[in-house]
Chain A
């Protein structure tokens, strides 16, 4: 048994919903992006740049990045609380799990800030 103090919303139902909503956003984003690239085989810089300077695409991209952070957090939290347990690691399980979750959290925050810099820096 591990404590659930680090879950996204302190509510399993809300986490469940956040995972599904972020999944739909990510599916829409990647299908769009793959479709766009498949439809423009010899894409050049001007087209690529124009796509991402479009404000709608910036909003869609940022939405996808936020969804990626939430989706990854729920997923990694689930893995951490399923496998990094006292049954597997004994007394140090809480420290190991907390460290793992901290690394995940920092990575997601860094990706978010980096993404904002890219999208609004061009």
Chain B
């Protein structure tokens, strides 16, 4: 990703090259995969912060929280897929 950032910022040709590369179906799948991992990590991380502050720490709350994380992540991952394609 740093390589793509460096190339896309280095020159106009580099930017066009990166942009063209990202339009291929395989690149889109990889981008979606990376975004999916990031989004799930982000949502689960926010839950961690909420639990650090004492929210949802009961057995019931823990179970509910884990389900909410899955639901929000799936919604965001689907939206990311729509965005990428």
Residues in A lying within 8 Å of B, measured CB to CB:
20, 23-24, 27, 30, 38, 44-45, 48-49, 52, 111, 114-115, 117-118, 121-122
Find out whether the CB atom of B49 lies under 8 angstroms from the CB atom of A20.
yes
**A-B CB contact pairs (8 Å), 5 listed:** A20-B49, A23-B49, A30-B38, A52-B9, A121-B10
Q: Is the CB of A114 within 8 A of B12?
A: no
17 additional contacts (CB under 8 A) given A45-B15, A117-B6, A118-B5: A20-B49, A23-B48, A23-B49, A24-B49, A27-B42, A27-B45, A30-B42, A38-B83, A45-B8, A45-B12, A45-B16, A48-B9, A48-B15, A49-B9, A49-B15, A121-B6, A122-B10
* Cα–Cα distance between A63 and B80 once the two chains are bound (Å): 25
Nearest Cβ on chain A to B20's Cβ, whole angstroms:
13
When the two chains form the complex, which single residue of A44, A114, A118 contacts B9, counting CB atoms closer than 8 Å?
A118
A115 and B9 CA atoms in complex are apart in Å by: 12
Tally chain B residues at the interface, Cβ within 8 Å. Answer: 17
- Interface of chain B, main secondary structure: helix
User: Which residues of chain B are within 8 angstroms of A111 by Cβ–Cβ distance?
Assistant: 2
A69 CB to nearest chain B CB (Å): 13
Per-position 1/0 for B43-57, Cβ under 8 A of A: 001101100100000
A-B contact number at CB 8 A: 36
Binding site for A on B (CB under 8 A): 2, 5-6, 8-10, 12, 15-16, 38, 42, 45-46, 48-49, 52, 83
Please give, as numbers and ranges, the residues of chain B lying within 8 Å of A48 by CB-CB distance. Answer: 8-9, 15
Q: Cβ of A20 and Cβ of B52 under 8 Å apart?
A: yes
* Chain A neighbourhood of B42, CB < 8 A: 27, 30
Enumerate chain A residues within 8 angstroms of B6, measured Cβ to Cβ: 114, 117-118, 121
Q: Is the CB of B83 within 8 A of A23?
A: no
In the assembled complex, the Cα of A52 lies from the Cα of B4 at a distance in Å of 14
Residues on A with beta carbons closer than 8 Å to the beta carbon of B83: 38
Q: CB-CB < 8 A to A122: which residues of B?
A: 9-10
